[in-house]
């Protein structure tokens, strides 16, 4: 039986057996030495630690243990006095405790000594490990060596506590700003962090991690902790938000509410206004929409241009639209059809450089041949005009009739250049200058116009023809004879100059007078004839003189 008492304490209070594949289970063993009786002279105390892997072993190696010892004198002064004692390993399984002097010293009643074994790596098997304590003291009979057995319990290893508090250093990141993730947990786990598109293994002993590339959008990270022995896994998640996210794709089934949308490297922006959208470029000014097609009800724009800077351009002044080349010069409109209420243009030309073209002087329009100023030809089915100014008009063929317009009127000619014929139903003219006029047929009567007047002829030939009319109002008639219009009617024949006229069939008249008012006249009454004249304003009988009186011819 030992003179001193020995008690074991541990920190933690229950030592867990180590498990292969985990961090070693470590703890501190305290051997409390007390004296409940009278003073005991002591010189050394040895503690034998069971070394090995079995249930009865405390540790595999005492070389990892940090030993120290302290002796506390509670009796000599008003306050306890503590001093160190010497603790040294002996061999592979013994710690020896001696006094500072190395000589025999008194262990007074009420005093105590604590032997501390720090960083004890607990053996892997659960069970009771018994430490053997051997004390060497001096008694009246001499040196006394006694042993005491002090047990310590090694509990079976518990499941590794799950990791906790997986957290980012910032919940909201600016563009390009990276994140640092941290967590609390046992180093016995194998850690991995998973994220969209990849995963990263965590080096042993590390409790923080940052992605190689800063997150571009809201990202959820998953911490996976795996027990290397049981392969049981624990999962923790955390999510970081990005103030200006960059999305590869976005599908919104119920809509997106946002004041604007902006690019990443190129800062083009779409802003949503009360009336629609506005497009801005990097500089903040109005931007460009590039698309394959646009289906719009209307477009309000200052100009429209092709994709290249030298492409055609359309501007929209208040009075319509201007089509220009990329250089700014007037451009061309190419189209299949144009439905317009009006066109203001200097000229119109076919698609080719040698096509005909129309120019528009102030007086009207000019039709010209291709490249040049030569007059061109208008081809049409009909023309409804108020007037035509032209040098000539001709049928479609080169030998068709042709009308030219000299200063004094118009000439109708055959294609050969000879005088041509006017065919018409009626002609309403103020005057006609012609050599002759004839009916439609070759044997119809015709009129020629000699310098003295006109000649009426029968059909083909020079025989005199007849004039048929209701009335004739003429200043003078030169003719051989004048006849009534019917059969058996009287007629007047004009004799030689000095013989006068011969009337066949008689003359019926109320009176006959000379050419002048003061000449005599003849009145016819029931009694005969009365030749009268005027003298001094009075009507009186006139003198009748004649060379001869001829009988009425048969």
- Residue 497 contacts residue 512 (beta carbons within 8 Å): no
Of the three residues 155, 184, 201, the one that is the final residue of a domain is 155
The length of the chain in residues reads 554
- Confidence check: pLDDT of 546 > 80: no
CATH number at residue 21: 2.60.40.2230
Note the pLDDT of residue 551. 60
Containing structural domain, residue 545: 484-554
Same domain? 64 vs 122: yes
Residues 6 or more apart whose Cβ sits within 8 Å of residue 233: 224, 225, 226, 227
pLDDT band at 550 (very low <50, low <70, confident <90, very high): low
Does 368 reside within a domain?
no
On whether both 13 and 104 belong to a single domain, the answer is: yes
Q: Model confidence over 220-259: pLDDT tens digits? A: 999 999 998 889 999 999 999 999 888 778 788 888 888 8
Q: 161 vs 14, 182, 193, 467, 501, CA distance in Å? A: 16, 17, 18, 144, 164
Q: Evaluate whether residue 435 is within a structural domain.
A: yes
Q: Which residue has the higher pLDDT, 332 or 202?
A: 202
Q: Count up the domains in the chain and report the number.
A: 5
513 belongs to a structural domain: yes
pLDDT of residue 36: 92
pLDDT at 152 over 80: yes
Give the separation between CA 133 and CA 47, rounded to whole angstroms.
5
Report yes or no: 196 and 31 within 8 Å, Cβ to Cβ: no
- pLDDT confidence of residue 542: 73
Mean pLDDT value of segment 306-324: 91
Domain boundary among 98, 121, 155: 155
What average pLDDT does the segment 174-193 reach?
94
The Cα–Cα gap between 266 and 290 comes to: 14
Beta 142-155 vs 521-525: how paired, if at all?
unpaired
pLDDT digits (tens, 9 = 90+) for 34-65: 999 999 999 999 999 999 999 999 999 999 99
Assess whether the previous peptide bond of 12 is cis (omega < 30° from 0): yes
Question: What number is the average pLDDT over the span 186-199?
Answer: 93
Same domain, 211 and 173: yes
Instruction: Verify that 76 and 206 share a domain, yes or no.
Output: no
Residues 136 and 98 in one domain: yes
| Same domain, yes or no: 223 and 179 | yes
pLDDT tens per residue across span 495-505: 877 666 777 76
Residue 262 maps to a domain: no
Token pair, residue 252, equals: 């919104």
Question: Strand 260-262's sheet: what is its strand order?
Answer: 260-262, 269-272, 277-280
Core vs surface per residue 143-167: b (16+ CB within 10 A) or e: ebeeebebebebeebeebeebeebe
pLDDT at 433: 81
- Asked whether residue 118 falls in the same domain as residue 183, the answer is no
Whether residue 91 is found in the same domain as residue 134? yes
- Cβ–Cβ < 8 Å for 32, 9: yes
Whether 515 shows a pLDDT value over 80: the answer reads no
Confidence tier at 392 by pLDDT (50, 70, 90): confident
Per residue in 273-296, pLDDT (tens digit) is 988 888 999 888 888 888 889 888
326 domain residue, yes or no: yes
Q: Percentage of the chain with pLDDT > 90?
A: 47
Query: 262 vs 249, 280, 473, CA distance in Å?
Result: 14, 9, 101
196 and 90 belong to one structural domain: no
Query: Taking all residues of the chain, what is their mean pLDDT, rounded to a whole number?
Result: 88
Contact 6, 33 (CB under 8 A): yes
Domain assignment present for residue 131? The answer is yes
Q: Are 324 and 331 in contact (CB under 8 A)?
A: yes
Mean pLDDT, to the nearest integer, of 8-15?
Answer: 96
3-class secondary-structure state, position 354: coil
Bridge partners of 127?
A: 154
CATH number for position 202:
2.60.40.10
Instruction: Characterize 456-487 residue by residue with b for buried, 16 or more Cβ atoms within 10 angstroms of its Cβ, and e for exposed.
Output: ebeeeeeeebeeeeeeeeeeeeeeeeeeeeee
Task: Return the pLDDT at 10.
Answer: 97
As beta bridge partners, residue 503 has 492
Distance CA 411, CA 401 (A): 10
* 215 and 150 belong to one structural domain: no
Is 440 a domain residue? yes
Please, what's the largest Cα pairwise distance for the chain? Answer: 234
Residues 491, 529, single domain; the answer is yes
347-384 confidence digits (pLDDT tens): 888 888 889 989 899 988 888 998 888 888 888 888 88
DSSP, res 461: S
Domain annotation covers residue 288? no
For residue 527, pLDDT over 80 is answered with no
Statement to judge: residues 128 and 183 lie in one domain: no
Q: Which residue has the higher pLDDT, 172 or 159?
A: 172
Residue 135, exposed/middle/buried by CB under 10 A (0-12, 13-18, 19+)?
buried
User: Where do we find the tokens 């590794």?
Assistant: 160
Domain boundary among 132, 155, 178: 155
| CA–CA gap between residue 151 and residue 329 (Å, rounded) | 108
């Amino acid at each position: 039986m030992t003179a001193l008492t020995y008690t074991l304490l541990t920190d933690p209070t229950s030592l867990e057996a180590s498990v292969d594949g985990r961090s070693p289970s470590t703890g501190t063993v305290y051997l409390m030495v007390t004296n409940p009786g009278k003073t005991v002279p002591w010189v050394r105390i040895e503690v034998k630690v069971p070394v090995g892997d079995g249930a009865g072993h405390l540790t595999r190696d005492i070389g990892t243990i940090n030993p120290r010892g302290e002796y506390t004198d509670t009796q000599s002064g008003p306050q306890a006095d503590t001093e160190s004692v010497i603790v040294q390993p002996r061999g592979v399984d013994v710690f020896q405790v001696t006094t500072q002097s190395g000589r025999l010293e008194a262990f007074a009643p009420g005093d105590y000594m604590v032997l501390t074994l720090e960083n004890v790596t607990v053996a892997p098997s659960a069970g009771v490990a018994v430490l053997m304590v051997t004390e060497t003291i001096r008694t009246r009979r001499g040196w006394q060596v006694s042993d005491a057995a002090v047990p310590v319990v090694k509990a079976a290893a518990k499941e590794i506590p799950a990791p906790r508090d997986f957290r980012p250093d910032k919940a909201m990141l600016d563009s390009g700003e990276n994140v640092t993730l941290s967590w609390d947990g046992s180093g016995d786990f194998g850690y991995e962090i998973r994220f969209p598109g990849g995963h990263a293994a965590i080096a042993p002993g590390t409790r923080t991690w940052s992605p190689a590339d800063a997150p571009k959008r809201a990202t959820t990270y998953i911490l996976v902790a795996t027990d290397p022995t049981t392969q049981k896994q624990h999962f923790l998640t955390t999510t970081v938000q990005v103030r200006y996210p960059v999305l590869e794709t976005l599908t919104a089934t119920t809509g997106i509410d946002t004041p604007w949308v902006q690019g990443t490297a190129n800062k083009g922006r779409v802003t949503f206004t009360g009336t629609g959208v506005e497009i801005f470029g990097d500089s903040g000014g109005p931007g460009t929409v590039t698309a394959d097609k646009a289906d719009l009800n209307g477009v309000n724009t200052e100009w429209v241009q092709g994709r290249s800077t030298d492409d055609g351009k359309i501007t929209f002044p208040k009075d319509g639209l201007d089509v220009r080349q990329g250089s700014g010069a007037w451009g061309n409109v190419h189209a299949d059809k144009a439905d317009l209420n009006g066109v203001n243009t200097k000229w119109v030309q076919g698609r080719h450089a040698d096509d005909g073209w129309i120019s528009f002087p102030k007086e009207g329009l000019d039709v010209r041949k291709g490249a040049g100023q030569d007059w061109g030809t208008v081809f049409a089915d009909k023309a409804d005009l108020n007037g035509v100014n032209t040098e000539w008009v001709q049928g479609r063929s080169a030998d068709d009739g042709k009308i030219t317009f000299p200063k004094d009127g118009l000439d109708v000619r055959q294609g050969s250049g000879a005088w041509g014929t006017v065919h018409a139903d009626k002609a309403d003219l103020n005057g006609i200058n012609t050599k002759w006029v004839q009916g439609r047929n070759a044997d119809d009567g015709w009129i020629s116009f000699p310098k003295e007047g006109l000649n009426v002829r029968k059909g083909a030939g020079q025989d005199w023809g007849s004039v048929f009319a209701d009335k004739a109002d003429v200043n003078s008639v030169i003719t051989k004879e004048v006849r009534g219009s019917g059969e058996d009617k009287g007629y007047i024949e004009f004799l030689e100059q000095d013989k006068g006229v011969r009337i066949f069939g008689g003359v019926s008249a109320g009176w006959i007078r000379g050419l002048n008012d003061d000449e005599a006249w003849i009145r016819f009454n029931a009694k005969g004839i009365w030749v009268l004249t005027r003298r001094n304003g009075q009507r009186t009988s006139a003198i009748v003189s004649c060379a001869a009186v001829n009988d009425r011819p048969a």
